[in-house]
Amino acid sequence: MGKFVISKRTNGEFQFNLKATNGQVILASEGYATKANCQNGIESVKKNSQLDERFEKKTSSNGKAYFSLKASNGQIIGSSEMYESTAARDNGIESVKKNAPDATVEDLS
């Protein structure tokens, strides 16, 4: 089972990472001013990760593939790492879909 890990950035903002069962980060959030907003972001990932249309597949300027997960209002909730191939990126999306709904939350902030 995956888990969300909440941490605090050096600038005081809260963020979360969704980690797969193997401990690899598969989705990283933006910074949030409050822990409550960060926790709301986690709930949004759990809900929106089950909708294919919420994943935006992208290619960076250096040719690496990645994706963003968006909320219903179009705001980016989280982004992936850079992948060497589109197939690896698509596997990352499937991992988020599989791990997010039942992921536990670990608060390190």
Domain with 69, as residue range(s), is: 3-107
Element (H, E) at 55: strand 55-59
Element (H, E) at 7: strand 3-8
Q: In CATH, what number is assigned to the domain containing residue 64? A: 2.30.29.80
The backbone torsions φ and ψ at residue 10, rounded to the nearest 5 degrees and listed phi first, read -65, -25
pLDDT classification of 1: cutoffs 50, 70, 90: confident
Segment 60-64 mean pLDDT: 93
How far apart CA 35 and CA 41 sit, in angstroms, is 10
25-57 residue pLDDT tens: 999 999 999 999 999 999 999 999 999 999 999
Evaluate whether 85 touches 63 at the Cβ level (below 8 Å). no
pTM of the predicted model as reported, rounded to 2 decimal places? 0.92
> What's the chain's average pLDDT?
96
**Which distant-in-sequence residues (6+ apart) come within 8 Å of 37 by Cβ?**
14
Q: Residue 59 pLDDT more than 90?
A: yes
Question: What is the per-residue pLDDT for 69?
Answer: 98
User: Structurally, how many domains does the chain consist of?
Assistant: 1
